[in-house]
Amino acid sequence: MALLSPHFLTFLIFILTISSVEICAAGSGGIAIYWGQNGNEATLAETCATGRFPYVNLAFLNVFGNGSTPQLNLAGHCDPASGGCVSLSNDIRSCQKQGVKLMLAIGGGIGTYSLSSKLDARNVSLYLWNSFLGGKSSSVFRPLGDAALDGIDFDIELGSFLFYDDLVRYLKSYCKKTQKVYITGAPQCPYPDRLMGSALNTGLFDYVWVQFYNNPPCQYSSGNTTNLINSWNLWARSLRAKKLFLGLPAATQAAGSGFIPADVLTSEILPVIRKSPKYGGVMLWSKFWDEQSGYSSSIVSGL
């Protein structure tokens, strides 16, 4: 048998190494987390520095649309109205240098928001682009300073479903070669989501982290994983998005129902849902609750 040359052996080892990395990466997932709704949680820079969260949603812009003056609420972290949050630009840049994607979460369970028309959707999109993303306008105040976030996260839980599909299309139209606008969303697990269904149907969402909690028909409860997995499979079959995430509370106190013990998640649920081509990982509510429970540390190796 002919001997292989040293150069060919080196090349073969390189190819096998690359292939194994790709195979491992194919089934791997990441953790998306919501930050901003408790002033006692870690700073944004500290959150990114853990290395556990490739996606961070800054929550929330909870007043917008229908002629209202948009309002950003970051709880006890800083006061956007007085300019107290512009210093977050340094944190944003620090996160992005580490490869973390940062989205501004709009909506939430408490607030006043709706879209009254397609024109209203366009106006809100321009506000978001110029105030938080890659747009520039000398007449627009940027609540988080001059750093640009990576995208917008839709957590629409109040009001009407109308015109959010238009808002998504307008935001995507601002994509440039130098900056992509990521669109993400957190619908409730009953399919289709009554408020975000039309927006999701645009097919323009990059990541969708479905809230599999506070919804008994499609969540984990009392050792029963069937309802959750059936709902996941329905979303995975039906959703027009690049990646699907399992949205969970990071502690029992973080939601009314639907908490999954870490060992159950890693041994009974993740091995099943990881088989989906759309599997992207897990979303957690929220950074504060994760700090209380250590949940992300308990599950990260099983993603």
Number of domains in the chain: 1
Task: Look at residue 25 and tell me if it is in a domain.
Answer: no
Region 32-37 average pLDDT? 98
**Is position 263 within any domain?**
yes
CA-CA distance, 22 to 17, in Å (whole number)? 9
Is position 19 within any domain?
no
**Range with lowest mean pLDDT among 97-106, 170-179, 269-278:** 170-179
DSSP state of 292: H
Which residues span the domain enclosing 61? 30-302
Distance between terminal CA atoms of the chain?
44
- Residue 24 domain-assigned (yes or no): no
Q: Is the pLDDT of residue 217 over 80?
A: yes
**Average of per-residue pLDDT values in the chain:** 91
206: CATH: 3.20.20.80
Residue 58 belongs to some domain of the structure: yes
Comparing CA positions, the residue from 163, 160, 202, 211 lying closest to residue 183 is 202
Per the domain annotation, does 12 fall within a domain? Answer: no
* 6-15 tens-digit pLDDT: 454 444 444 3
Residue 3 lies in a domain: no
Please report whether residue 219 resides in a domain: yes
How do residues 234-258 score in pLDDT, each as one tens digit?
999 999 999 999 999 999 999 999 9
* Residues designated as active site: 157
Q: What is the DSSP string of 38-63?
A: -TTSPPHHHHHHTS--SEEEEEEEEE
* Region of poorest pLDDT, from 79-83, 147-151, 181-185: 79-83
